[in-house]
Amino acid sequence: MNLTDMQIKNAKVAEGKKQTKLYDGAGLYLLVRPSGRYWRYDFEILGKRRTYAIGKYPDIPLAGRIGKSGDYVKGARDHCMEIKALIAQGIDPILLRQEQKQRNLEEASRKEAEDSLVKNTFEVVAREWFALKQYEWVDKHASKQIGRLENYVFPYIGATPINVLTKPEVNQPIKNAVAQGVNDTARRLYFLVKNIFSFAMDHGYVDSVPLSSTLSSLVPSKPSTKMPAITEDTKIGELLRSVLDYNGSYVVRMALQIMPYLAVRPGEFRMAKWNEFDLDSGIWIIPAKHRKLKKAKKEDQDNVHIVPLSSQVVALLRQLYQFTGRGNHVFPSVRGDSRSISENTITQALGALGYKGEMVPHGFRAMFSTLMNEKGFNPDAIEKQLAHQCRDKVRDAYNRAGYMAERFDMMQVYAKHLDSLRDSS
């Protein structure tokens, strides 16, 4: 006897039982449980008994009907007829549904992957890379890196999914920079883009790097140039005598006299502050924030550089202290003590003395290294004085504690040698 809607609505689980079955005939029945009512269909295929789960009542009614939206809603009996038709063709409806479910999952996964790749444009991936790397850089360097991408790369390939970019497309921003005559920028762009694609490969966004394998195929080779530096004794003497005749500001003249004796980096020199010096002990402690270090090391206050001062430097600094000692900066700007002299001040002063293209502030480091190596001083002590980072961490740890006495002696010998060159005619 077939089921009726009234029987279904009034159906209950008998006391003491977990479930009750109400049969509609031909294998279709309603499984009644405390949790709800479920349509099932029992059938046999290839000699095996199987049960097909049609769905839940009342989502699926007993018989088909027109829904509120005007669409036909299949009933349990409709589903039963479709299942019987499949079985008649030798098709297992349970396996068919499983296969369809698997295909739907694969299609959804494929679509999700495609959508993800479309969202992963070059700019999106580049900014993801930048967000990771920027904490390793000082703010100024980070600003330059993202600025190059925003000015030269994003306008051309930023909106393109990174996985579909071709080599000509990726090369084009670099070639554009070359066409504009900014070859140094083009070189930096090449390595920027290369690093971003390496990041993209590591994260599964791309399978290869669509960029020319060599820099020289995109950017003209950079001529081999060294920073201008005077290292011959006769010319060094002439330079030091010229400095004494500098007729610019007193602070700059003193900077020109002091800098040759120290061999520190120009940026560290110009930003020197009086509270970093112990003139009685003859030392200058350069703080980590003023040193040429990666961002993480700059933030470690222990990464100082101790510079031994010769008696000549101490005397010059005591002389300068009478003039600028009331402020913070050893070499204040002409605009006031709130800032130090600029990057170009000493370069321009050397140019005014007739040494443009022949000597730059950084050249004093080369001068020191050349002369002290020629005098046979310990190369490790020379490198330590120059604050060059040692790649051997164990050796660097030893160097940090060692060579101080040797460096004091070396800087005094160096100062005496410079004086002798200056005073010789």
Catalytic residue from among 9, 33, 141, 294: 294
What is the secondary structure of 69-105 as a DSSP string?
TSPEEPPHHHHHHHHHHHHHTT--HHHHHHHHHHHHH
State phi, psi for 389 to the nearest 5 degrees. Answer: -80, 130
Catalytic residue from among 37, 148, 187, 265: 265
Catalytic residue from among 133, 362, 400, 417: 362
DSSP single-letter state for residue 166? -
> By the 8 A CB rule, do 362 and 350 touch?
no
Distances (CA, A) of 200 to 84, 194, 420: 52, 10, 59
Distance CA 247, CA 117 (A): 65
Q: Which residues of 189-215 are buried (b: 16+ CB within 10 A; e: fewer)?
A: bbebbbebbebbeeeebbeebbbbeeb
Catalytic site includes residue 365 = yes
Tokens in use for 209? 């790097």
Catalytic site includes residue 101 = no
Catalytic site includes residue 355 = no
Catalytic site includes residue 398 = yes
Count of CA atoms in the C-beta half-sphere (13 A) of 374:
12
Catalytic residue from among 37, 77, 148, 365: 365
Tokens in use for 282? 């003859």
Tokens in use for 55? 């769905």
Residues involved in catalysis: 265, 294, 362, 365, 388, 398
